[in-house]
Amino acid sequence: MWALERGLDISISAVAKLAFLYKKVVHFFKTMQEYMIKFNRLLTSKNVDSINIEKALL
């Protein structure tokens, strides 16, 4: 999708690799953002200890 939106030829291997990396990076940052939101909620809650943090994040 990323390459097609920019009018790039996906059949070129370098473009395909860039599209793949772009997709993975976007997914990584979305996942990291979700965990940061969960972690911030835990830190602002009243019952903060390492066991609760570990259970909530896993």
Residue-averaged pLDDT of the chain: 80
Answer with the residue of higher pLDDT: 3 or 19: 19
Output the pTM of the full model.
0.56
Q: What is the pLDDT of residue 48?
A: 63
Domain limits of the chain?
Answer: 23-58
Mean pLDDT, residues 1-30: 83
The three-state (H, E, C) secondary structure of the chain, written as one string: CHHHHCCCCCCCHHHHHHHHHHHHHHHHHHHHHHHHHHHHHHHHCCCCCHHHHHHHHC
